Structure 1
């Protein structure tokens, strides 16, 4: 079996390097897989992605992204579609990372004996509205909605990243109920490793004192669904409770971070390679996952949630962020932000039980978000077997028949 995987996202984005590449690495190790062809667009970053490719049989084809609606971008997508068709043989599995990618693979899927899989990670039409690329209820919005409906119906199997996304998909298109498997966004295996000497060196460089400081951390972009103003408000609220509160902001959006957070002495802004994030997060007492209520966030599976937990960091999360609030409540790995939650309680509980929180968070991360634990489900996803239920994780990581 050969796999073709197509994405319209920038191949150098952290979302691809930290999510898609480990996924492809796991698929490549399945005994029935002979190799993988990856088709991806590139907007910036040059050949940075090559350093992150799994050491497996993955052949990469890259096209330039001039903007999703630019004619030259679509010429590259047409080229991808033709190349995938030319290489596809009976038994091939074709995986599209969103409905547009699936459409590009539909020509290859016309060959007999192929299997078309939708890697469904969110509501593309609503994401484009939030990003300002299209107008809600405009022509392109309606077109993307129709494309999403077609993709759900056309796919032979669907990978959903949250129970909320599965529920929404089945309500909208009941025909999808028997072909969905839920596997959350898992952390990059490198995040689980840590070097205590490096952590202590960073603690000294940043002048952090565990006995006195309470460190909040935010890791990720400052995109439209990650609210800088909410991060700033929560940070200042904690400062009123505990004067030695610090904010560690790890982002590639340095200009946006400086514009939003200024030069407050208690805020540390850093841009670091993703493979070094675990040593910085190990300095934190509480990770921030603060998002607005929206259809996009309601079905999301933010990889930063998995990364916080894998680094032993409890999470402060707003309601309506995929399955995250349910996991926080059920497993005791953080707090759900609401008006009745006293921040002083968070500070006192975490400072009094740091080691217990860290151990519990890492254990929950392994149980829910270790991609290797879903290897059997990946095999069923590409192999066409009947999906089975996994009773170990009641909210995520189970097949839905």
Structure 2
């Protein structure tokens, strides 16, 4: 029997959150045949208060041989709370690293990576910097960090050190890797891998194309400042003028009242627009009758590291998408796999052109199958786990 290698996984995202389950446990469960994982995650107090869910998740982890060590996430006051959580991470990383219970530390995002970097100076245990996004740029765009402030300068120095000293760096997108290497020439020799967000393809079934009016739609958070709502409703309005029978759908937990108020400004009647919320388990059924997903995200440096999970979910259902440039690798993927249309901007001319291109795309009988194949190639958890396995083996000796 092969002795499993020991790995410590640090996450500032809770394992009880939908994102934690889909983007952490989905991978580690597949790697648990060769690696004995200890997961240290930070859980929201409300999530951790649900004892039955905590126990169910703990039992699931045990079934994979995973030792789950949950901590409580602190968020106020922001700076002090983050420093406290970092201290907790430092203690946990030291405990497992210096005792020989971790031959590798896998860090999901910046705060865990800082802990691994500092502890690793003493223990010499290598760490993977799984950066997930361009966090500092996201913080600046969200108004949570002032560019060139003292805190920003300290974080930039830490980011540079993390990128340089990590045994391997994982990015959600190739666009982010290209940007980082262009900004810091010394990173051209660093080992980077691109592993995007994953989708549990077993929950998504490709539906056959229908001859019914084209139901355009989207899903996820749209009232956030990160989504072009004006582009969305102008697209729906334009489609409604082209096809009087067209209907639309938004699957979201955002305010229905706010969305309907905006829809009326574009002449979209209540009966034309369906707005529903969905649990993660029901999302496949709730988007099944959408014929094209509209992915209109704000662009910029901070979004170069973004990989919209909802794109993978649409494609897994065989649904093409319309998306814009400047958001990670989204536009490149749409064009490479021919699974939708890339829109240049939110002008009426661009929207008219995109909808006309979508009509032409619908004539391709292989479109739905091609969408599914793209999801299986790029967004599958199996594919992502295989990439992580190669990274682990390149760092830890398997003699």
TM-score normalised by the chain length of structure 1? 0.82
1:16 matched to which residue of 2? 20
Is 1:169 matched up with 2:180?
Answer: yes
Aligned residue in 2 for 1:202: none
1:14 to 1:296, Cα distance in 2 relative to 1, 3 A: farther
Q: Distance in 1 between matches of 2:46 and 2:234?
A: 32
Q: Residue 56 of structure 1 is aligned with which of 46, 59, 64?
A: 64
> Contact 1:186/1:370 (CA < 8 Å) preserved in 2?
yes
Give how far 1:271 is off: 1.4
**Is 1:182–2:186 an aligned residue pair?**
no
1:184-204 CA-partner distances (Å, limit 9, x unpaired): 22212443357x8xx9xxxxx
Partner of 2:316: 310
Aligned to 2:304: 298
| Match in the other structure for 2:128 | 117
Task: Give the TM-score normalised by the residue count of structure 2.
Answer: 0.83
Structure 2: which 5+ residue stretches go unaligned? none
Change (3 A) 1:243 1:137: farther
Alpha-carbon distance change, 230 to 101 in structure 1, aligned in 2, over 3 angstroms: farther
Q: Is the 8 A contact 1:241 1:343 kept in 2?
A: no
User: Which runs of 5 or more residues in structure 1 are unaligned?
Assistant: 200-208, 387-401
May I ask how many residue pairs the two structures share in their alignment? 371
1:164·1:299 contact (CA, 8 Å) conserved in 2?
yes
Residue pair 1:162, 1:182 contacting (<8 A) in 2 also: yes
1:62-114, CA deviations, whole angstroms, 9 ceiling, x for partnerless residues? 21332472534532331232022112244521122222221123344245452
Structure 1 Cα separation of the partners of residues 77 and 143 of structure 2: 13
RMSD, aligned CA: 2.9
Closer, same or farther in 2 for the Cα pair 1:2/1:67, shift >3 Å? Answer: farther
Q: Measure, in 2, the Cα distance between the counterparts of 1:293 and 1:127.
A: 11
Structure 1 residue 116, shift from structure 2 partner: 0.6
- Find the aligned partners of 1:123 and 1:99 in 2 and give their Cα distance: 10
CA offsets per residue over residues 5-64 of structure 1, 9 Å max, x none? 2222354444333222312223323x2x12232322426434457766665233131213
Q: Which residue of 2 aligns with 1:371?
A: 381
Preserved contact between residue 86 and residue 111 of structure 2 (Cα < 8 Å) = no
- Larger mean CA deviation between 38-47 and 282-291 belongs to 38-47
Moved more, 252-261 or 118-127: 252-261
Which stretch of structure 1 is more off in the superposition, 119-128 or 13-22? Answer: 13-22
